[in-house]
Structure 1
Amino acid sequence: MPDESFDQDAWLRRIGHKGSRSPTLETLRAVVAAHASAIAYESIDVLLDRHPKLDVESLQRKMIAGRRGGYCFEQNMLFRAGLRSLGFAVTSLQARVVRGLAVDAPRPAFHMVLRVDLPEGPYLADVGFGNLAPTAPLVLSPEIEQETPHEPMRFVPMGDELVLQSRLGDRWEHIYRVVALPRVDAEYEITNWFAASHPDSPYRSNLIAARPGPNRTRITMFNARLNLRHADGEVERRTLDGAADYRAALADLFGLSLPEADLAAALATVESKGTRGAPHPFFA
């Protein structure tokens, strides 16, 4: 059911959607693309030792009024509230991230995704997977290559789960395995606490941001590494140098403006704890 505290008009203004509000596949396509493009994936609050809150009022205050981004739980909780306010039937699911790993890697279900049931069938919606979040709803059926505004994607079956894959250049790469069992919000609170609190969580030591760009590009920041990946798989890389460079990249590429004290604290943590070798495979 729709959350009465959710401000649908403010959300739609934030993502720039001026089209239909009817709960149709056309509307779903439009709001997935708009939300993914307008609200950057980022986990800066975790880096600053601020535990992300998942209640709708806090999410609206941060990501709509405050014009910040968020990571998977924040993004998809906010998006779920938006979809339900439009009248969509939404079921909350989880997924096992296997980006950069073997497809059958024994992984916990730590990623939040959504199933949207339409007359055309069930679709997956996910605006919270950073550098490879689908920028279109995807039919939850295996072995169908599906176009998006960015990479072609498909599901392949593995036991009771569906593996989401993305075609990067001439190769298909695993992203995550969708678990069909519906979840309750308390389970997201547990995984959110773990992701934000565990000392080995990559979010606690690294400055991470991602956003889909124009012309099928993807923009990713992992500490000082800034990547612009093209649809053919080619990547333009540059290294950020100093607070001014970070500030400009966050503002110009991700739409994020941090207070000076927050940026200084984030960069100090990155300097003392950040990954210095290859980026984490989930954000490469």
Structure 2
Amino acid sequence: MTSPQMDVGEYLSRIGFEPGSGPRPTLETLRSIHTRHLLSVPLENLTMHSGELIRLDLHLFYDKIVKQRRGGFCYENNGLFSWLLTALGFQVTLLSGQVKSGFTGCYGPPLDHLILMVVVEGRSWLCDVGFGSAGFSSPLSLDTADPQERGHCMHRIREDTGMFYLEWQSDESSNECKDWDVLYKFTFEPRSLEDFTKMCMYHQSSPSSIYFCKSVCTLLKPEGRVTYIGRRLITKTFTTEGVMKHTRDLKDEEIPLVLAEVFGVILPSPLTPKDEEITPPQVKY
């Protein structure tokens, strides 16, 4: 039953989705709201770098993302997105992913990342609105190992002895024969939001977590992607010739204005910019 404090129509308005007579649980609807969420709600961890604690509570997610027009990291974005999909009549299963760090080359612990499996018209789809720059703009089919093009990126899902690997070809690679790089691995074991409580704290306290080591905010744009990290603003623009990348150094006093103007994010407390090296985890997963 939908909580009176959480309204589907308000969420859809937040992401700019105009359903007309009302959205139905179809593949077309799933694709549309997945993309609209990514174009409207940033992936960001600024709460933990402005003196506050993130707790796994759907009502808090809703207040932050819909009411305050903020973003969140994977547990918040995908957690709230799963509520929306369920309210719209979709069959949703929460899954655990383990991200392979681009900085350390190591996988995160189990329950490192929250992702969603959605079944529509007898077919299974991977949804993820909480991953960032290497993510996919619309759901990926879980029923094929073939490459799947989403926007300017190519992804595929490879299975090996019961473990599934999401891989991509980097949008910045200039090679004609691009390598496939693993983004994260996962299984189909159903999870609940509460299962991720310990890892939610880990990401707010561990030097092996990118979220603890770096203040981040990133948003998909129709023409590319814009990312704030530490004291830098990185803009990617997709062209017919490839990806054009521009990096701008920021002064501390510029950051709140950039967050507001570029991402629509206004923080209730002062931000402490952070961009430290990530410590590889002692335990290999």
| Shorter-chain TM-score above 0.5 | yes
CA displacement at 1:200 relative to structure 2: 4.5
More helix, by proportion: 1
CA displacement at 1:57 relative to structure 2: 1.2
Match of 2:228 among 221, 231, 238: 221
Amino acid at match of 2:100: V
Contact 2:45–2:73 under 8 Å retained in 1: yes
SS of equivalent to 2:165? strand
Tell me the residue number matched to 2:219. Answer: 211
Partners of 2:101 and 2:168 in 1: CA distance: 10
Amino acid at match of 1:187: D
> For residues 60-99 of structure 1, what are the structure 2 equivalents within 5 Å?
60-99=62-101
SS of equivalent to 1:245? helix
Match of 1:163 among 162, 165, 168: 165
After superposition, the C-alpha distances for 1:15-53 in whole angstroms (9 at most, x for unaligned) are 010025100000000000001110101001112242212
Partners of 2:99 and 2:225 in 1: CA distance: 19
Partners of 2:34 and 2:85 in 1: CA distance: 10
Q: Does 1:42 align with 2:44?
A: yes
Amino acid at match of 2:246: R
Contact 1:94–1:183 under 8 Å retained in 2: yes
SS of equivalent to 1:234? strand
Range moving further from structure 2, 150-159 or 198-207? 198-207
CA displacement at 1:176 relative to structure 2: 0.7
Paired residues, what number?
A: 267
Cα distance change, pair 220–149 in 1 and its aligned pair in 2 (3 A): same
TM-score of the superposed pair, with normalisation by structure 2: 0.85
Partners of 2:159 and 2:195 in 1: CA distance: 24
> For residues 253-264 of structure 1, what are the structure 2 equivalents within 5 Å?
253-259=262-268, 261-263=269-271
After superposition, the C-alpha distances for 1:51-77 in whole angstroms (9 at most, x for unaligned) are 212212111111110111100000001
Cα distance change, pair 178–200 in 1 and its aligned pair in 2 (3 A): closer
Tell me the residue number matched to 2:11. Answer: 11
Amino acid at match of 2:228: M
After superposition, the C-alpha distances for 1:212-264 in whole angstroms (9 at most, x for unaligned) are 1122x1222221222223447635232333234322321232221224x513x
Partners of 2:169 and 2:216 in 1: CA distance: 23
Cα distance change, pair 102–47 in 1 and its aligned pair in 2 (3 A): closer
Tell me the residue number matched to 1:202. Answer: 210
Partners of 2:208 and 2:102 in 1: CA distance: 18
Range moving further from structure 2, 39-48 or 192-201? 192-201
Percentage identity across paired residues of the two chains:
28
Uncovered stretches (5+) of structure 1, i.e. residues with no partner: 278-284
CA displacement at 1:102 relative to structure 2: 9.4
Tell me the residue number matched to 1:138. Answer: 140
Cα distance change, pair 276–94 in 1 and its aligned pair in 2 (3 A): closer
Tell me the residue number matched to 1:24. Answer: 26
SS of equivalent to 1:220? strand
SS of equivalent to 2:117? strand
CA displacement at 1:152 relative to structure 2: 2.0
Which ranges of 4 or more aligned residues in structure 1 deviate by more than 6 Å?
A: none
TM-score of the superposed pair, with normalisation by structure 1: 0.85
Contact 1:3–1:85 under 8 Å retained in 2: no
Range moving further from structure 2, 13-22 or 72-81? 13-22
Uncovered stretches (5+) of structure 2, i.e. residues with no partner: 279-285
After superposition, the C-alpha distances for 1:169-224 in whole angstroms (9 at most, x for unaligned) are 44232211122111122211121121123355332342111111122x12222212
Partners of 2:18 and 2:67 in 1: CA distance: 18
Tell me the residue number matched to 2:125. Answer: 123
SS of equivalent to 1:197? coil
Q: Does 1:58 align with 2:60?
A: yes
Amino acid at match of 2:8: Q
Amino acid at match of 2:132: G
SS of equivalent to 2:39? helix
Amino acid at match of 1:147: E
